[in-house]
Amino acid sequence: MGRPSGRALAVVVAVAALVALAVLRPAEPLGIRQPYWARELAAALPGGGPGCGTGAPGRSTAAPAGSARLTIGAYGYYGPDPRAHEPERYTVSAHLAPGPEPLRLSALRAAVDIYGPHGRGRTASARDLAVRVVTGPASKPVRPGRDGTYRFTRGDDLHLAVELPAAAVCPGDSLSSLNTCDPPRTNQIEDCPVVRLALTAHGLPGGRLVTVSFEPDARDA
């Protein structure tokens, strides 16, 4: 069998480059470009990124005039299920209250940071994560409307689910240890980790909402 010509090799290289671009490019709805604030969040943080062991969760924010609010409902580790062929995962669930007027959102993305108790700083950090819109106790997936948007109204049963990748966990921690309190057996929420979730989406007032699982000042107010 003869050696391929230079022209054939060039074609192979060009096809390989196109395939690489298709694989590496983040998923994005057709015809919708990510706004500038979403592009700023789109950064892979392997091993938790350079901020491991530093920082604090800060405070939750609301859209202008308090028209929308994001609240973490649950978060935690789920072990692997060989029977269902499901790997281990760490999931953050949140509820979006749209305010008096319904919201139509698309291109939902999230950033997640987890902070250890007693000033440990970040134990995991990830950006540009996919956001699933689900409903009900079984977290049944919700399909977007014909225009590609999800409609959020007051009193609906929609929730947001975000999966934290194992690669985002800082050295010395694991998905299964992220919720470990210090001391392990405690009744004080201050002894446990804090989750920070930032949501970006087209159609979201202000473009971005942040929620924190625990704020000492909010409880004492």
Average pLDDT over residues 216-221: 54
Contacts 24+ apart (CB under 8 A), 205-210: 205/63, 205/64, 205/67, 205/68, 205/99, 205/103, 206/63, 206/64, 207/35, 207/37, 208/37, 208/61, 209/61, 209/62, 209/63, 209/68, 209/69, 209/70, 209/96, 210/58, 210/59, 210/60, 210/61, 210/70
Q: Is 185 exposed, middle or buried (0-12, 13-18, 19+ CB in 10 A)?
A: exposed
**How much helix, strand and coil, in percent to the nearest 5, is found in the chain?**
20, 35, 45
Confidence of residue 87 (pLDDT cuts 50, 70, 90): confident
Pick the residue with more confidence: 107 or 27? 107
The whole-model pTM stands at 0.75
Decide: 161 and 139 in contact? Cβ < 8 Å: yes
Decide: 161 and 92 in contact? Cβ < 8 Å: yes
pLDDT digits (tens, 9 = 90+) for 66-79: 688 999 999 999 88
> Given this model, what pLDDT does residue 220 score?
43
Average pLDDT over residues 141-151: 95
Between the CA of residue 175 and those of 45, 75, 87, what are the distances in Å? 15, 12, 11
Decide: 170 and 179 in contact? Cβ < 8 Å: no
For the chain, the straight-line distance linking the first and the last C-alpha, in angstroms and rounded, comes to 79
